[in-house]
Amino acid sequence: MRWCVGEAHPPSTLVAFAIAGVAVAYLGELLLVSSGAAALVPPVSLAFTLVGIGVIVVLVAWPIRQAVRGSGRRRIDPFRAARVAVLAKASSITGALVLGAGIGITLFLVTRSVLPPAGTVWMALATAIGSALLLTGALVAEHFCTLPPDDPEEEEGSAHA
Q: Domain range holding 71?
A: 11-148
d(CA 56, CA 43): 21
Among the listed residues 9, 4, 1, the one whose alpha carbon sits nearest the alpha carbon of residue 144: 4
Confirm whether 60 is domain-assigned. Answer: yes
Confirm whether 88 is domain-assigned. Answer: yes
Question: Based on the structure, what is the number of domains in the chain?
Answer: 1
The CA–CA distances, whole Å, from 72 to 38, 66, 81, 112 equal 53, 5, 14, 54
Confirm whether 79 is domain-assigned. Answer: yes
Q: Per residue in 47-82, is it b (16+ CB within 10 Å) or e — as a string?
A: beebbebbeebbebbebbbebbeeeeeeebeeeebe
Among the listed residues 91, 134, 139, 128, the one whose alpha carbon sits nearest the alpha carbon of residue 106: 128
Confirm whether 64 is domain-assigned. Answer: yes
Q: How confident is the model over 86-137, as pLDDT tens digits?
A: 999 999 999 999 999 999 999 999 998 887 787 889 999 999 999 999 999 9
d(CA 15, CA 88): 17
Confirm whether 1 is domain-assigned. Answer: no
Q: How confident is the model over 144-155, as pLDDT tens digits?
A: 887 766 555 554
- Following DSSP, what letter does each residue of 28-82 receive, concatenated? HHHHHHHTTPPPP---HHHHHHHHHHHHHHHHHHHHHHHHHHT--SSPPPHHHHH
Where is average pLDDT lowest: 44-48, 70-74, 84-88?
A: 70-74
Q: What amino acid occupies position 46?
A: L
Confirm whether 5 is domain-assigned. Answer: no
Confirm whether 36 is domain-assigned. Answer: yes
